[in-house]
Structure formats: structure tokens, C-alpha cells
Amino acid sequence: MPPRKRADAVRNEQTLLAAAAEVFVRSGVDAPIREIAAAAGVGMGTIYRHFPTRADLVVAVYRHQVEACAEAGPALLSTEDSAVAALRKWIDLFVDFLVTKHGLAGAMQSDSSGFASLHAYFLDRLGPVCGSLLDAAAEAGEIRAGVRPFELMRGIGNLCIGRDDDPCYDPRRLIALLLDGLSVQQ
Amino acid sequence: MPPRKRADAVRNEQTLLAAAAEVFVRSGVDAPIREIAAAAGVGMGTIYRHFPTRADLVVAVYRHQVEACAEAGPALLSTEDSAVAALRKWIDLFVDFLVTKHGLAGAMQSDSSGFASLHAYFLDRLGPVCGSLLDAAAEAGEIRAGVRPFELMRGIGNLCIGRDDDPCYDPRRLIALLLDGLSVQQ
DNA sequence: AACGATACGGAGCACTGTTCCGCTTTGTCA
DNA sequence: TGACAAAGCGGAACAGTGCTCCGTATCGTT
């Protein structure tokens, strides 16, 4: 059995995951390793030790983000003033996460089978969370009922496609529109 | 009206197109500029003057290859011993060309409209050439009749997908099989 | 406290895209 | 033909990047 990991190693890994996620959102998944290292406040060697290839890092960030996103759902629901506010904040996190996700798809041209399993994991983990946020907001009468979580997630995902091509295209603006349309009415 | 191009400039452009095509086949469309320049026996500055961006170069090579491929059809038919030999050699050229084509698709993530028109050009120009080779071989009784050119081109194109991923995957071997199957029988 | 084992940092190397400018070749015009 | 702009060429030089390697620092254990 392998010896337990050193405390600083675990700490660095967490820091890296968080920093890389931020950098990916800001500069895309092709951001220079140096930039990620700087953001995390570690040396490049540290990154390469934890994540030998870029794909390793992206995958790890992906899983980490799925987890964070999943945990944020209930947390926001108990923190925010209204269910719809929680939903909005959650979707904000979700959009950040999609950047990594789309970058991942690009970084995985070869191993598309591994990607499929990650995608399944993503749906299983996040679908219920999104569902409970929707339910809460619907029960509170803040949005219309009957919106299916997978539908919404899929739609938001699609709105986020191709964001790099055109700096004038801001998915968040459209998503905001979508959410406004969700508000109960008619 | 712009002054006529200098003789050495046109010569260099042709040399470059031919050299780049070779290098693309050997090293992919992401081959270093230096490598292409060396293969063509010119300086890097020359490449950048003729083709400011990599996409420009790839597109130019693409058109050049389509043209060469189209002209090679009739030429092979009159040079080779049999129609089927001409067909085989032509398909060999065609496969080389597909490398550029697939690389092009990758290099054109953004401008997909331009890509579509190039693809149409490709079909219009090469379909009839392939058709006449097939007809000649069929008439000579060297292959079975009834194979549609677009079908064959499409099939070969698909066999060439994903060749970089796996060094063990050699599309030409499969294509040879396909051609053997084409030989008249039954 | 002492001492391996483990992990860290970042200088250094290799390779790449891209620019820029002195030099060469070409075409033209007297 | 010879001279002379203009057009074109080459490749050194710069900047940015991935990745390695090893001296140093930190950790956990005894």
C-alpha cells in the first residue's frame, strides 16, 4: 500500500484545481502552464508532477468543477434570499464550468470513450441538483413550473458553444434572457 | 491595375505549394513553418509574404491539390497500362490530398462557411474525374460496374479519418482491400 | 532533534510563430 | 546594353511556449 500523501501535496493539488478553473474561464483551456502556475502560486514543476499532461489537468478540473457545482446547489438554496436567486447564482457557476467542459472536448480528440463516461457522470451528478433548484423556485411561485432540468442544462450548454469565435457573442446575456423568460407570468 | 508579378515570385509560389503538400502529408498541417520553408528551399519570410496566415497556405495547397488531382485522372488513364492501374494510382494521390483536406477542416474551426464552398468545389471538380476512371475500368472489365464515384470518394474519405490518433491505423491498407473487392468477380 | 523521503520552485533548454531589414534579383527605360 | 528603382528574398532575432531537471525546502517519522 502506498504511503499517505504529504499534507502540502494535497493542499497544492486543491489550490491548483481552483486556480486552473479560474484561468480556464479567463484564458481558455490552452492557457500557458506558466499562467496557471502563477495563478496558483506554485512552480511549474508542481503542476507537471500532479498532472503530467494537459488532459490530466483538464479532466481533474472538470471533475472538481462538477463536484463543486453539485455541492453549491443545496448551499445556495439555504443561503440566498429566494429560490430564484439561488438558481441564478447556480447557473452562473454552471456556465463557468461549461468553459472547461467545452475545452475538454477539444483536448480529447483522441480518447472519445473517456469523454463519454465523463459526460455521463456530469449528467448524473448535476441533473438532480438543477432539478431541486427548479422545483424550489417553482414551488415558491418564482418561476413557471414544468421546466425539465436536462432541457435547461442542455439549452444553456448550447448557448455557450462557440464563445471564442466572436468576442461580441456573450452567452451570459442570452442566458439572462432565458431566465427572465422563466419568471412566472402569463 | 496591379503590376505583373515577378517571375521568381510565381516560381516560388508553385514550389511552395508543392513542398507544403508533401510536408503536410509527412508531418500534418501543423508542421513548423521552418520545415516547410526548408522543404521548399526558401526563407520563412517568403512563406509569410505569399501566405500571411497558416490557413491561407492550407487553403492554397488544398485548391492546388484538387487541381492536380483532377488533372492527374486523364493523364494516368493514358499513361498507365490498365484502367484499374490508373484508378489505383489516382486514389493514392487522392489519399495524400485528404490529409490536407482533413487538416484544413481543423484549421478552419471559425470560418465554416468558407469551408463549405471549398468542399463543394472539391466535389464538383473531382467527382467527374473519379467517375471517368471508374467507367474506364468497368468498361475494360477490370472492376465491377455500378460503383458510384461519390460513394467511393466518400468511403475513402471516411477511411482516412483519425489516422493521426493511432500509428497502427493505416488507411491505405484498408483502401487496398476496398479496391481488391472492387475487382470484377462473382 | 535528527534524518530520510517527498515535494517544491524555477532556471534552462528546445522548439515554435512572427517580424524586420539588409541584400539580391528582376523588369524596365534610356 | 547598362543602370536603377521596385519587388522580392533570406534568415537572424525576438517573444512565447512546453517540458525537464536538480538543488533546496518541507514534511512525517523515529
Mean pLDDT, consecutive 10-residue stretches, chain B (186 aa), reads 82 95 89 96 96 92 92 95 94 85 64 69 94 94 90 89 68 87 72
Q: What is the mean pLDDT of chain A?
A: 87
Three-class SS of residue B82? coil
CB-strand contact B7/C, under 7 Å: yes
> Which residues in chain B have Cβ-Cβ distances shorter than 8 Å to A110?
165
**Domains located in chain A, CATH noted:** 1-52 (1.10.10.60), 62-182 (1.10.357.10)
**Secondary element (H or E) of residue B73:** helix B54-79
pLDDT tens, position by position, for chain A (186 residues)? Answer: 667 889 999 999 999 999 999 999 888 889 999 999 999 999 999 999 999 999 899 999 989 989 999 999 999 999 999 999 999 999 999 988 887 777 776 666 545 456 677 888 899 999 999 999 999 999 999 998 888 999 999 999 888 876 555 667 788 888 888 888 888 665
- pLDDT digit string (tens) for A133-161? 999 999 999 998 888 999 999 999 888 87
How far is it, in rounded angstroms, from Cα A81 to Cα A89? 11
Q: Are A67 and A112 in contact (CB under 8 A)?
A: no
Protein-contacted positions of strand D (CB under 7 Å): 6-13, 16-22, 26-29
Q: Which residue of A has its CA nearest to B112?
A: A165
Q: Is A165 touching B (CB cutoff 8 A)?
A: yes
Protein-contacted positions of strand C (CB under 7 Å): 5-12, 15-21, 25-28
> Which residues in chain A have Cβ-Cβ distances shorter than 8 Å to B163?
none
How far is it, in rounded angstroms, from Cα A158 to Cα A125? 19
Q: Is A109 touching B (CB cutoff 8 A)?
A: yes
